[in-house]
């Protein structure tokens, strides 16, 4: 099979890259980590205008999706630029609420598609924490076959990434939907969150590699650039291979998810995939590979930058801190490997 992005998909990625390059995301990250969500929400609105969050929302609710391939293109760019906020969670919420259908979908999905609403969520089997819940307009939780709207973000927990704060949502809240469809929608939402996180991790790794290659070209030792040393070349080549190996798995998972959406009877709601074992295994393979590749890129970047890599002043630190949490979010490597074997 020969798989290539279309001209429109590539142009979509280039347009997002240009938008985010002009946005000065390191400054947005610093503000977000300090609790000032204003610049991040403004950037969120511009991304929504570009159609990013509509990709997970069915047309019936004001979106254009689900479009997993385009979502992968978008999330890779968001990862390259370290965009703050619950990106994967909001996209997953689009799938979850579409699967739930009814009043809760009608109330929240148009706002998600337009960027007016930022959502975080927790799902059974993925841990109790909702990323960036303090910045979200809604925090949804799923327990069994019940979908609830949490009454508050809860207390923050320690996070390795200061621009990705973790919260345990306040318990309670009346159910906003219930029934077998919620379980199926939650499985599909979990796949979407893992898939989007894999794409963000891949983009994060790409930026770490790009910054490291640029640095070793200008850093000298013994009168020559350290990038000319064979050991450095090998380390960078291994990092590149890891990222390039993850890319086809990511887009392969996108094709599997798109096939699930289009398969008759697969949806649990308006345009929602049910989360089949085959698609789930493909997502898990992409997640573990992209997560490990991104984390390997962070280790390479830190080693080759030396002590300067630890400094708060260096923008690279934001990507370094992000790589490990992305590797473990929405499916640890061991959990993803087990799912690949089961699938």
Residues in CB range of 20: below 8 A, 6 or more apart: 43, 77, 78, 80, 81, 83
Interhelix angle 68-80/87-100, rounded to 10 degrees, is 160
Task: Please tell me the predicted confidence (pLDDT) of residue 262.
Answer: 59
pLDDT digits (tens, 9 = 90+) for 82-103: 999 999 999 999 999 999 999 9
User: Could you please report the per-residue DSSP string of 240-282?
Assistant: HHHHHHHHHHHHHHHHHHHHHHHSTT--SSTT-----HHHHHH
* Six token digits for residue 275: 């989360």
For the stretch 137-153, pLDDT in tens is 999 999 999 999 999 99
d(CA 197, CA 331): 9
The helix/strand/coil state of 58 is strand
Helices 7-22, 38-49: inter-axial angle, 10-degree rounding? 160
Q: Determine what percent of the chain is predicted with pLDDT higher than 70.
A: 94
**pLDDT surpassing 50 at residue 248:** yes
SS3 139: strand
Contact 193, 91 (CB under 8 A): yes
Tens-place pLDDT, residues 269-296:
444 444 566 899 999 999 999 999 999 9
How far apart are alpha carbons 86 and 49 in whole angstroms? 17
Section 199-211 average pLDDT: 98
Q: What pTM did the predictor assign?
A: 0.94
pLDDT digits (tens, 9 = 90+) for 109-132: 999 999 999 999 999 999 999 999
Torsion sign, CA atoms 244, 246, 252, 257? negative
Contact in structure between 112 and 65 (CB atoms under 8 Å): no
Q: What is the pLDDT of residue 309?
A: 74
Angle made by CA atoms 165, 166, 171, in degrees to the nearest 5: 140
Mean pLDDT, range 147-168, rounded to an integer? 94
- Per-residue pLDDT tens over the stretch 296-334: 999 999 999 987 777 877 899 999 999 999 999 999 999
> For the CA atoms of the chain, what is the radius of gyration?
19
Percentage of the chain beyond pLDDT 90 is: 86
Torsion of CA 222, 228, 232, 237, to 10 degrees: 180
């Amino acid at each position: 099979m020969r798989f290539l992005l279309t001209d429109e998909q590539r142009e979509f990625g280039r347009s997002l890259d240009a938008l985010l390059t002009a946005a000065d995301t390191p400054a947005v990250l610093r503000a977000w980590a300090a609790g000032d969500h204003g610049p991040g929400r403004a950037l969120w609105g511009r991304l929504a205008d570009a159609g990013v969050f509509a990709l997970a929302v069915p047309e019936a609710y004001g979106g254009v999706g689900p479009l997993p391939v385009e979502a992968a293109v978008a999330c890779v760019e968001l990862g390259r630029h370290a965009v703050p906020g619950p990106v994967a969670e909001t996209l997953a919420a689009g799938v979850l609420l579409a699967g739930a259908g009814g009043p809760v979908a009608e109330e929240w999905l148009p706002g998600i598609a337009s960027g007016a609403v930022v959502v975080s969520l927790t799902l059974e089997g993925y841990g109790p924490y909702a990323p960036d819940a303090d910045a979200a307009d809604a925090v949804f939780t799923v327990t069994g076959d019940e979908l609830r709207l949490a009454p508050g973000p809860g207390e923050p927990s320690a996070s390795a990434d200061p621009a990705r704060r973790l919260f345990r949502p306040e318990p309670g809240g009346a159910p906003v939907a219930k029934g077998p469809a919620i379980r199926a929608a939650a499985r599909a939402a979990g796949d979407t969150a893992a898939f989007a996180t894999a794409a963000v991790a891949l983009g994060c790794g790409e930026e770490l590699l790009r910054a490291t290659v640029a640095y070793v070209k200008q850093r000298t030792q013994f009168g020559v650039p350290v990038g000319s040393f064979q050991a450095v070349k090998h380390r960078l080549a291994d990092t590149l291979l890891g990222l390039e190996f993850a890319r086809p798995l990511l887009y392969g998972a996108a094709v599997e998810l798109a096939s699930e959406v289009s398969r008759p009877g697969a949806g649990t709601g308006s345009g929602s995939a049910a989360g089949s074992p085959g698609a789930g295994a493909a997502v898990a393979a992409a997640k573990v590979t992209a997560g490990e590749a991104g984390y390997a890129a962070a280790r390479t970047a830190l080693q080759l930058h030396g002590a300067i890599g630890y400094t708060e002043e260096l923008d690279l630190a934001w990507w370094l801190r992000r790589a490990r949490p992305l590797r473990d979010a929405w499916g640890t490597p061991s959990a993803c490997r087990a799912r690949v074997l089961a699938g």
